[in-house]
């Protein structure tokens, strides 16, 4: 069982697309996200100094702000993983924002 969320293109392009989130475990920190032809295996959680995001199938591991902080999380992914497309970054941070309505870290 999962749910959908909406993304809006970079720089106010007016482009929109739908992403899908599917929980993968009962511990509420592991999800499969699909959007615009990409699939992301998200692992999110807390550690002693803050919060983290791992996407092992893309070899991504980084700290993040709150789940709903699209600006900070987007900046972090852009800085640490410049090979990621804007569309993929938006798909990831908007998924995190959508998850913020259902889970608390």
Arithmetic mean of pLDDT, 52-66: 96
Is position 104 within any domain? no
What is this structure's pTM? 0.93
Is position 81 within any domain? yes
- For 56-91, give one letter per residue: b (16+ CB within 10 A) or e: eebebeeebbebebbeebbebbeeebeebeebbbbb
Looking at residue 105, what is its pLDDT? 84
Arithmetic mean of pLDDT, 27-53: 94
Q: How many residues does the chain have?
A: 105
Is position 105 within any domain? no
**Total domains, the chain:** 1
Arithmetic mean of pLDDT, 44-69: 95
Q: Which domain holds residue 66?
A: 3-99
Confidence of residue 78 (pLDDT cuts 50, 70, 90): very high
């Amino acid at each position: 069982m999962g749910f959908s969320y909406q993304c809006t293109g970079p720089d106010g392009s007016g482009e929109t697309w739908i992403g899908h989130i599917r929980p993968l475990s009962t511990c509420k920190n592991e999800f499969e996200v699909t959007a615009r032809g990409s699939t992301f295996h998200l692992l999110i959680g807390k550690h002693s100094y803050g919060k983290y995001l791992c996407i092992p199938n893309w070899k991504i591991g980084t700290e993040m702000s709150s789940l709903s902080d699209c600006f900070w999380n987007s900046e972090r992914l852009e800085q640490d993983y410049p090979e990621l497309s804007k569309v993929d970054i938006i798909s990831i941070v908007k998924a995190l924002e959508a998850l913020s309505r259902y889970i608390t870290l």
